[in-house]
Amino acid sequence: MTRNTLLAGAALLLALTGAAVAQTAPPQGPMAAAPAAPVQPRLVVDGVAQAISDSYFDAAKGAQIAASLGAAAAKGEFDRFTDPRDLATALGNWLRPLDAHFNVVWNPAAGPPPQGGPQRRAPDPAQIAQREAADRRANFGFRRVEILSGNIGYIDLRQFADFDPESATAPARDAADAALALIARTDAVIIDLRDNGGGSPAMVGYLASAFTPAGANIYNTFHSREGDSSEAPIKPYAKPRLDVPVYILTTARTGSAAEALAYTLQQAGRATIVGEASGGAANPGGMAPAGNGFAIFVSRGSPENPISHKNWEGTGVQPDQPAPAAQALIVARRLALTAVVAKAPAGPARTDSQWALEALDAEGRPPVAPAADLAGTYSGVNVTVNGEGLLQLQRGRRPPQVLLALGGDLFNVRGEPDRRLRFARDDKGRPVALEYLTEDGSPGPRLRRD
């Protein structure tokens, strides 16, 4: 089985789910009164069951699922769903607990199913061009890449775009290279897959190779009726970072290829998974026509990890550090900074990471009201209390900078942990100066109170 055959994954499933919504939702506007023509549910189930039996990667299990679906139909479980839109939803809901990739869609414009067994239609060039245009517009899934405080690299990846690994000019791989280059000098890396439904195994293998030794036996092998294939990259990333701590954020929204990257690096001991258990959709595949305008996404392969000899189907990738989805990034940043501080030698770099960690902890605490006597003017810089009850300083027409209390008279500029300052008091406890601190310990600017 080729990479492109297995490409479907959860990213395509999500696209198809969106298509299903569009295809099965009641029409809007002037056509809203035109209902879909009723269908015979048992006849439709026959076609769906046959598609599963013909195409599911495990022939015995496929036959079992098809038989169970047919038995449910024979009992009348789907008889009330004569509207094809409702029937597609009901069938998908019934099948999904058996394999998270199962999804049934209805398209009244679809042609008849192919004759002579589980044949697959040739890719539609127009659909391929449309998908490639959408991938480019989405920057091949790389939504955001930045350096967080404390020199932590962060990649917000929303899909695993496909590319030809043997092509010298592959835009999706170029996007990955650009993202990895930006974080190449960071002390830790966070890859955010909380909103990633999956995509191409080619991208999975390539990104995994950016953090593992060349030739390492860590990649999933996909088993199918047609043979086996591996996620191992044909051309791995040229300059892998083998020691940098890696943290991957997951939720139940994380699916398929996104789960593959998380699982692969977790099993290889190269990533700490932070967040919630992923969606549990391990088995990629593709659409199979089922007749009467219906089609079903059928898993045509199943991965096996060479270390665990298992996969994440149904269970999801389990987090090493559980955290609510909304808090996962903060938790990962704290873990990353703690690891960096523990490893770094004394000096400005370690101080920078330590300050970032302390600022992160301070941001998570309730705001602390500053001592009222700190407000005033320091060498022309006005220090006032803002509407949040926090100190802010402002010089002339420059935008105000809010100060985050770190303890006592020590503060940093909110959002900028490396800009730390302290109010100095005289022997009677009166604030007399505002002193800026530097990471290397050298004296910073000192503003006297006017």
Above 80 in pLDDT, residue 60?
A: yes
Q: Which of 34-38, 119-123, 231-235 has the lowest mean pLDDT?
A: 119-123
Domain chopping of the chain, boundaries? 3-106, 125-284+305-342, 367-448
* DSSP class of 121: P
Structure tokens at 301: 């392969």
pLDDT of residue 403: 94
pLDDT of residue 155: 98
Query: What is the CATH T-level fold of the domain 125-284+305-342, as seen in this structure?
Result: 2-enoyl-CoA Hydratase; Chain A, domain 1 (3.90.226)
pLDDT of residue 71: 97
Cβ atoms of 259 and 202 closer than 8 Å: no
pLDDT of residue 111: 54
Q: How far apart are CA 368 and CA 234, in angstroms?
A: 55
Strand ordering across the sheet containing 302-304: 227-230, 221-224, 302-304
Q: How confident is the model at residue 2 (pLDDT cuts 50, 70, 90)?
A: very low
Above 70 in pLDDT, residue 128?
A: yes
Q: How far apart are CA 102 and CA 294, in angstroms?
A: 13
Q: Which of 13-27, 71-85, 294-308 has the lowest mean pLDDT?
A: 13-27
Q: Angle 257-267/201-209 helices, nearest 10 degrees? A: 30
Above 60 in pLDDT, residue 213?
A: yes
Q: How confident is the model at residue 130 (pLDDT cuts 50, 70, 90)?
A: confident
Q: Which of 65-74, 364-373, 414-423, 436-445 has the lowest mean pLDDT?
A: 364-373
Above 80 in pLDDT, residue 217?
A: yes
Q: How far apart are CA 383 and CA 196, in angstroms?
A: 44
Of residues 175 and 31, more confidently modeled:
175
pLDDT of residue 175: 97
Give which of 295, 258, 336, 321 is closest to 108, Cα–Cα.
Answer: 295
Mean pLDDT value across residues 292-309: 96
Q: What percent of the chain has pLDDT over 90?
A: 81
pLDDT of residue 363: 87
Q: Which of 103-112, 117-126, 380-389 has the lowest mean pLDDT?
A: 117-126
Mean pLDDT value across residues 295-323: 96
Cβ atoms of 306 and 218 closer than 8 Å: yes
User: Residue 215: left (phi > 0), alpha (psi -120 to 50), or beta?
Assistant: left
pLDDT of residue 29: 47
Q: Average pLDDT, whole number, for the chain?
A: 90
CATH C-level class of 367-448: mainly beta
Q: Which of 28-42, 147-161, 192-206, 418-432 has the lowest mean pLDDT?
A: 28-42
pLDDT of residue 115: 52
Q: How confident is the model at residue 116 (pLDDT cuts 50, 70, 90)?
A: very low
CA 416 vs CA 139, 146, 154, 402: distances in Å: 28, 14, 17, 10
